[in-house]
Amino acid sequence: MIPTAKIPAGWCGLLKFPMYNFLQINLTAPKETLIKRIADRVKNRGLNESFERAEINIMKKQLVWFEKYSQGLWFDVSTNNWQDEAKNAVRQWYNEPQDAA
């Protein structure tokens, strides 16, 4: 079974609306790949090394946050078939019977 989540619709939970099922797809890559992409982007834009260090620090904080708080499915974009795996997961989730709220 594919993990799904339910969230209430409405502003800050003040309004009562039905719950919605959704599939959360998360993309990741090895840290080395992400750091190389940051370095290439900084170089192509002509920015300095301190900007690169700041971007890498932000990336590390984001990785920690996502590992701690994200639900759903993770796909490694550095693999060759991640898109096919994601499509299959979405098809499977879409075709599963949904629980009534």
**Residue 91: per-residue pLDDT:** 93
What average pLDDT does range 81-93 have in this prediction? 93
Residue 86 has pLDDT above 70, yes or no: yes
Residue 9 has pLDDT above 50, yes or no: no
Distance CA 73, CA 24 (A): 6
**Residue 15: per-residue pLDDT:** 44
In the block, tokens 């708080």 appear at: 69
**Residue 24: per-residue pLDDT:** 85
Take residue 33 and report the two structure tokens written for it: 């790949």
Which DSSP symbol is given to 52? H
Burial of 72 (C-beta count, 10 Å sphere; 0-12/13-18/19+) = middle
Residue 60 has pLDDT above 70, yes or no: yes
Out of 13-17, 34-38, 69-73, least confident range: 13-17
Paired residues of 20 in beta bridges: 7
Distance CA 66, CA 71 (A): 9
pLDDT-derived band at 3 (thresholds 50, 70, 90) equals low
**Residue 100: per-residue pLDDT:** 53
